Amino acid sequence: MQSKTNVDFEKAKASAFRLLKYRLRSCEEIRQKLKQKNFSSNTIETLIGFLKEKKFLNDEEFTKEWISYRKQNNFGTKRIVYELRRKGIDKQTIGKFLDEVGNRYKDEEVIQNLARSKFEKILKSCRDPIKAKRRLYGYLSRRGYYPQDIQQVVNQL
């Protein structure tokens, strides 16, 4: 008969693998999800050590993939940093991979293209250009672009 610790570990492992089946996760994400399922701290830390050892968990790989995915989907640096911080990634790791991956995606070009296409759609629904610019500003802000960059693009429109 297995001990309760081994049974808990196997249940936690199954739960973690279910989460990892869909996408990469940070160590902190796995830790939080397992805490929500009431696994003991000892079991969680043992499992995270096991997953790291077997290379199922790697915060650096997760960060690199997350930044790349979000940049491909036209999200700004500010939002990406916020999301990664919430997922338990430290600032040094974020900075390292933002520089590396961010060089392929220039925020200035992306924000201009995004602003042009969105502004035309907004203008069709509301004819007031001032109101349309406000809506565009809010949209770009929610996408994670910095206010000074948004203001520069909105003024050009």
Contact 80, 95 (CB under 8 A): no
Domain of residue 97, residue span: 59-102
The span from the CA of 134 to the CA of 130, in Å, is: 6
**DSSP track, 66-81:** HHHHHHHTT--HHHHH
Q: Which amino acid is at 95?
A: G
Tell me the pLDDT tens digit for each residue of 58-107: 999 999 999 999 988 989 989 999 999 999 999 999 998 988 876 677 77
CATH code of the domain containing 8:
1.10.10
Residue 75, phi then psi, degrees to nearest 5: -95, 145
Q: How many domains does the chain have?
A: 3
Q: Are residues 82 and 117 in the same domain?
A: no
Tell me the pLDDT tens digit for each residue of 106-150: 777 888 889 988 988 888 888 788 888 899 999 999 999 999 989
- Of 53, 68, 90, which one is at a domain's C-terminal end? 53
